[in-house]
């Protein structure tokens, strides 16, 4: 926030296929970077496989996420 305060909030992630929402994930982490592996594991558990294509903005960028996705295929 502009005044330096931290307010409690949730970071919501959403997965879609075509025009349909196929998964969602709420986290207390303020940065998207920490939510990617947790959300991908939830989707994999629900659908039995990792999504074929993952599109995300720069907020998800980290070496750990690249390594995670590389290992998962």
* 49: Cα separation from own chain's centroid: 16
- Structure confidence by residue, pLDDT tens digits, 40-73: 999 999 988 878 888 888 989 999 999 998 998 7
Please work out, in degrees rounded to the nearest 5, the angle formed at the alpha carbon of residue 56 by the alpha carbons of 2 and 50.
135
What pTM does this model have?
Answer: 0.74
Q: What span, in angstroms and rounded, lies between the C-alpha atoms of 26 and 65?
A: 18
Q: What span, in angstroms and rounded, lies between the C-alpha atoms of 37 and 1?
A: 27
């Amino acid at each position: 926030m502009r005044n330096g305060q931290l307010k409690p909030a949730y970071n919501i992630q959403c997965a879609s296929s075509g025009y349909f929402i196929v998964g969602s994930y709420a986290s207390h982490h303020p940065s998207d970077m920490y939510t990617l592996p947790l959300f991908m594991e939830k989707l994999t558990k629900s659908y039995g496989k990792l999504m074929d294509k993952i599109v995300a903005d720069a907020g998800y960028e980290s070496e750990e996420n690249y390594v995670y996705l590389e290992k998962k295929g």
